Structures are given as C-alpha cells and as structure tokens.
Amino acid sequence: MYGCEACGAHGDALRDVTLPAEGVLLGVVTIRHHMGKALDEPFVLARVLLEPGLAVRAVLTAVDHEPPVGTRVVGTLIDEGGGDAELRFRPESS
Amino acid sequence: MTSRLADLRPVHVVGIGLHPYQRMSATPYVTLGLRAVREALTDAGLEWKTVESAYTATALLGIAASRPMLRHLGATGIPMAHVENASASGSTAFRQAVHEVAAGFTDVSLAIGVDKPGLPGGAPGRTGLGDLVGNRSAPAAWFAMQAADYMSRTGTPVEALGRVAVKNSRNGARNPYAQRRKARTLEEVLAPPFIAGPFTRHQCCPVGEGAAAVLVASDDGIRRHALDRSRAIRVLSSTSRSETLADPADDADTLLTRQTVEQTYEEASIGPEDLDVVEIHDAFSIEELMYAEALGLCAPGEAGQAITSGALDIGGRTALSASGGLLAMGHPIGPTGLGQIAEITRQLRGEAESRQQPDARIGLAHMVGLGSVCLIHVLQRP
C-alpha cells in the first residue's frame, strides 16, 4: 500500500530495513505550552539524523537542558505504564 | 500543451469583503460567511444572481458547508464546491475561481473562506503510518527548531524575531478586520511565557474564526455588469507547488517557497524588486524572515536587518504584512489566503487608509499549507 517518496515504488519492490536507533541531533526544541491534552510540559522534541542519512522526529529524554546540535543520541524504550513502550532518544553520554 | 494564466483570459479581482477575524465565539459560521460575501458584492457593485460559481475554503468546518450558508443569498443553482488545503485553503479556492474565469467557464466567480477553530487534528495524523512524536507534534515546535537553526547560522539575535511581531502588531492595530489590534513593544513581545523554543505568545499567530470573500471577473463580466474598471485588480499569476524530497539538513519549507516563487516571477514577468506590498505566511515570527529571503526581498541572512531598518515597513521599499499578517490579523485557516488577496487588492486600489503603502502597483500573496504546499499569487493595479 505505502510507497517510496523518492521513486514511487511499492508492494514487492519495497523491503523492510532496520535502522539503528542512534544518530546526531539536527535540531532540538523545548515545548513549554502545547494545545494537546494530557501532556506533561515542558518536554523536548528533536530531529535526529540516523546513521543511514534519514532524519526522524522524536522525543528527547533524560535531559535537563537542550543539548547542542550535533550531540550524539541513542534510542531508549520508555514504558510509562500504558502497555506500549515508546522509542525516545537520549544523549549517548547520559 | 499546457497553459499559464497569462495565456488565458485576463482575470480581475472586482470585489472583496471580510468578517473581522476574532476569538472563537458562538457566532454561526453562516453569519461569518454571509457578512463577507455581502460586503464583497457591495464592494463590487454586483448582485448575487450574477455570480456563476462559488468555491468555499474551509479546513475545520467539515462536510457540506457551502449551500447551507450561500442559500441565504438566494438559491440560484450555481455550482458550489469545497476546497481544503490546510492553511492554504483560501489561496487554493481563489486559484480555482481564477482558473474557472480564465478558462472561460464563467465570467464572475466567488471564493469564500470561512472557518471556526476547535476541531481535532486532520488527515496527516490518520495515514496509518506512525511516528515517534504522536500528539506532541505541533507546527510551533518545528518552526521554533528552524528559528534556532536560523539564528545560529546567520547570527540573527532573538530581538530580530521579536521585531517581526512588533511591526505586524503595529500594522494590525490599523486594520479593523484584525484579531489582534494592539501595537506591542519589543519588551511586550519578548516577555514570557514561552510557547516553544524562543517563541513567545506574540510570535505565534492566533487561530480564531472569521471569513473573507473575493469576487473575480473576466473583461466580459466587467463590461456586462458595468463594473468600475478603475477598481478592478488584475491577477497576473497563480502558482502552486508541493514539497519535494530535500536533504535532511536543508530547510524544506524555505526550499518549497523558493521553488514556487521562481515559477511565479517567470509567469508574472516580474522580480522581487517590483513588489510594493507582500502578504506572507507569518504564522510564526521566524517564517517572515525565512520567506522574505526565499522571495528575494532581501539577501540570505539579512531579513532581520531589513525589518529593523524599516525597509519592510509601510512606507519602506516593500510593505511586508501591511494587514498585520497572520501574527496580528490572525489565521482562521480557511479565510486566511483570501484575506491576503483582499488586503493586496485594497492596497493596490489605494483604499487601505492609515496603512496604505504609497503608490502601490504590484502585490504578492504567499501562503504555505501543512503537508506541505505553497501558493503564490501576484496582483497588479490597472
């Protein structure tokens, strides 16, 4: 059903790829006021450049301030009790 | 073979009308929309029965908004359709109406934008493809991230972001249709609370309710209905693009505007130096800087300085967001792009009163919509 954004290939032409949950920060922002309900503010969002050159948006955890762009981050599974663990990122050094 | 707008019949804006943008209220959307349409009809000197088609721009109302509103003007049986293109819904409805007249299907068409906020998020969150941020995502977050990158890359101070909101609040204070009508100082604009990153409340647009209507007509329509040709404003170009794949390190939003405006300038046979008034998608303060540069109004990294110098004020070389922009006039979504066309038309007619850009001849309206899409229109006075 879903297709490739670069060339439009779909179906059997696509294959699953496992991406490493590690990369570097392209951007980071602290959200202090959000329209969404049931969110603990503030929280930190980031754009993470994964090793194959793909950027993803993610929640940054285990930080008490915004780390600089270029900081190496790794994925970590967080289960806040809802049953489904969520993939977030944290600085590699934390 | 394909055609550009310039290859088809000339199209003119002949009527504009608005319901002031305002905070969410109990006012029915029908009341908002009808006020705007009736004002546009009066402005044009047209009767409703002369309008041959209608496009309703709305992103938040849901299905079947057109006829329950427009029937109150008389059920004339004209074709009606909805246009939804996120923040660019109004711009897209305008483009549809312009194309219909240009192609010769109608001589007089209406584009009406009307919206009320408060409904839950749209289709991008329901594609079936998950992401890692869920409902934490918001436009303010990503533009705040771009603001941080822009300031770091260009050495632009946070005060330059604030001055965008100061300028636009000053313009909005002179616009009777604006949602925010109070001029703010830099200290007020920069004062907490913060929303996302460096953005304070006054650096984020208010999303309220309102309506904006634009009537477009052909030369035949102007002649047949004996309209005032001296107040008819020519639509020189209509360009629209969607986002392409960009390098992850690049700013996809700026790239999209740059690609679209290249097409615009070619189609309208103008350059940025020809623009007297520009309405821009300044939902967040950083966007005015990013897009002013992408449109070529100033060199990369110099938009903050241009704002500070007054070059982009009313009375400067180009009046940028003379209406107050999204930051002060407001961003009710469906009407916003049409409100821009109304402002440009008013400016080019010389009817903008206390916020008039002297001797305005050519104006440009720029909108982006979630997804992302970009629409740009250029208008010229006779």
- Inspect the interface and report whether the beta carbons of A29 and B137 lie closer than 8 Å: no
- The pLDDT of residue A25 is 96
- Where is average pLDDT lowest: A45-54, B45-54, B127-136, B254-263? B127-136
Is B138's pLDDT higher than 90?
A: no
- What are the structure tokens assigned to A57, written together? 């948006």
Radius of gyration of chain A (CA): 16
At B67, the pLDDT band (50, 70, 90 cuts) reads very high
- Compute the C-alpha angle B129/B134/B140, nearest 5°: 120
Chain B touched by A31 (CB under 8 Å): yes
Q: Is A9 on the interface with B (CB under 8 A)?
A: no
Q: Does the distance separating the beta carbons of A33 and B193 come in below 8 Å?
A: yes
Vertex B65: Cα angle to B63 and B69 (nearest 5) = 165
Is B136 within 8 Å of chain A by CB? yes
Give the tokens for residue B88.
């660019």
Q: Which two tokens stand for residue A17?
A: 């790829």
Mean pLDDT within B113-127: 75
> Alpha carbon of B16 to those of A31, B117, B131, B242: distances in Å?
39, 23, 42, 28
Q: Mutate which of B145, B199, B205 to disrupt the A interface (most A C-beta within 10 Å)? A: B145
∠ Cα B349 B53 B89 (to 5°): 70
Give the pLDDT confidence score for residue B122 in this predicted structure: 67
Which tens digits make up the pLDDT trace of A73-82? 999 998 877 7
Q: How high is the pLDDT of residue B130? A: 78
Summarised one tens digit per residue, pLDDT across range B145-196 is 999 999 999 999 999 999 999 999 999 999 999 999 999 999 999 999 999 9
* Whether complex ipTM tops 0.85: no
Q: The whole model's pTM is what? A: 0.94
Strand-pairing partners, residue B241, are B374
pLDDT on residue A75: 95
